[in-house]
Structure formats: structure tokens, C-alpha cells
Amino acid sequence: MSVESIIAESPRFREVIRVARRVACSSANVLITGESGTGKEVIARMIHDMSTRQQHKFVAINCSAIPEQLLESELFGFARGAFTGAMAAKAGLFEEANGGTLFLDEVGDMDLHLQAKLLRVLQDKQIKRVGENHYRPLNIRILAATHCDLNEDILRKKFREDLYFRLNVVPIEIPPLRERREDILPLANYFLKHFSVKHQIHGKSLSRDALKFLNDHNWSGNVRELENVIERAVVLSSEQEISLRDLDCIEEYEGDVNATFQRLCQQEGRFLSLEEVSRNYIQYVLQANKGAREKTARDLGIDRKTLYRKTHCRIE
């Protein structure tokens, strides 16, 4: 969803937009929180596009999508010969965003070593490439986002408290879609028009039953899930009017899941633990997606690192 098409009918999301507009004209650091799929990057782009840095780059990176050993060189860049394979010097994303905005998505997944380096960048406004001895000045604004509870991570020694206070100058919490239901149908209609144009399938509309279903659904995957459902319906529906039948994939999916867990409980002769339910459900979605881990992580609203951990852990 583009910044230009931000839909805010609900009072709670209108407040998010109001705060984002106010903070855009400042240089204050912003920490955007909310569940996966709520639109954190859309808000970050809005802040950049309304700021004095709008003529410069908006550079986004998902900290959970890059292995820890590569994230440092991706952010800071590296000198020639800094490590095996470094055949030429390379600027990192901090330098790429110089003059503009660097958006650190899922900053809560950054390891403590890199958290310390990020804190230094925020304090000193300069960076040093991996393998170099001199510092380069920076003029960037850093926006960060996470779906994690950073206060809990601080207590568990997984996130630095000093970095948290540096990032969280202005907090913006995006409510889940189920808590801003006034936005569901306007979003559904926006996605309907968008994907009709994208796939060159014109004249589609949503039936009354389909609209009611969409409005009543829980949307655990938030705006991203709604977007995927509408795109699938646009592509697969055979009639001009998208009916409830065209959205049955959601109900059938949930029914299959319920039947699966019922059968597992009967086999075990007991109720499954939450950890077992979680792991079985992840495996179910992974199989439904034919092993596509990237799509599975998106559908589940988790990052790939969490998906890997949950599919490889052993239940004690």
C-alpha cells in the first residue's frame, strides 16, 4: 500500500496519522510499534515524505531478514579485503541513506553487538566501515519499528535500555486491524481497485455477504492478510461480483486447521500444549505453502528467523 493511499477512517488510526504528521517536520527519532502486517513501513515512509529530507533517499532494511554475521557489513559497509570475498570496498546502508532516512524494521531482532554500534551512530553521527580505521560523517534520520515488546526484552537483557530511550523519542503505536474496524471495508475496496488495475481484470465488485464476512473477520495477519485475500479473490473469482464463496478459502482453511488439531488431540489422548499447537500450525501453513518459507513467515506474521527457530526446536 502506498503512502498516498493511506486510509484512516477509524479514530485510533487517525491519531496515528496526526502524530506522524506532527513529528515529520522535526528531526526526532521515532519508534513505530505494532503487530506484523499493520503498516509500520507505510507510516515510516509517510514521515519521510513529509519531512525536509523528502528529496533524499528513504532506505529500508528488515533487521530480521539478514543473517547477523552479514547485517553489520550491510549497514556499515566494508573496506576492500575486510573479509574473504570483499574484493572491493562497498558503502553500507547508512551511507546510502545519507541526507535522507534509514528505516530499521524489526530493530528488536538486532543482536546486542550491533545494538551497541547503532547507539554509537545515534550519538556521534558518524560511522566506520568494517575493516577501516577512519570515521565518515553522517546526516541521516533513523526511524525504527518492531513488533516486539522492547520493555520485556530489556528485562530479559535482549535489548539495550540506553538504545531504547534513544530510539523511542516519539513513540507511535499502530493498532491491529481488528481494533480499527472502520478501516476494513475502505481498505478492501482500495485493494479491490488496485489489484483490478494491476491484473487488468476490470469491473470486479464485492457482494453484500462478502463485505459482511470481511468486516467480521478477525484479521490476525492485519492489513497484509486483507491485501492477500483481496488479491487472491480478484484473480481467482470467475464472476464480476466477488461472492462469499470466493472468500471460502479462509473459512475452509480455518476449518481444516480445527479438524487437524481435533485429530491430533484424539491421537495423543490429551490436549496439546500451546507450544505443540504453535509448531503443528506452523508446519500446516508451511505445507499449504509448499515449503515457501518467505510466504509462510508473512502469512503467520513472523520473521524468517522466528520461523526457523520454531520449526527446528525440540519439544521437551
Q: Is the pLDDT of residue 128 over 70?
A: yes
For residue range 272-316, what is the model confidence (pLDDT) as tens digits? 677 777 777 787 777 777 677 777 887 787 777 777 776 655 433
Three cell numbers, residue 100: 535522507
258-270 in b/e form (b: 16+ CB < 10 A) is eeebeeeeeeeee
The number of distinct structural domains making up the chain is: 3
CATH for 151: 3.40.50.300
Question: Residues 212, 69: one domain?
Answer: no
Residue 174 near residue 34 (C-beta atoms within 8 A): yes
CATH for 218: 1.10.8.60
Question: Residues 128, 220: one domain?
Answer: no
Q: For residue 253, what pLDDT is reported?
A: 47
Question: Residues 67, 138: one domain?
Answer: yes
Number of H helices, E strands in the chain: 14, 11
Question: Residues 11, 140: one domain?
Answer: yes
Last-in-domain residue among 154, 175, 196: 175
31 lies in which domain range?
3-175
Question: Residues 156, 13: one domain?
Answer: yes
Residue 274, number of CB atoms within 10 A of its CB: 8
For residue range 49-95, what is the model confidence (pLDDT) as tens digits? 999 999 999 999 999 888 877 898 889 988 777 777 777 888 889 99
Helix, strand, coil: what percent of the chain each, to 5?
Answer: 55, 10, 35
Last-in-domain residue among 135, 150, 175: 175
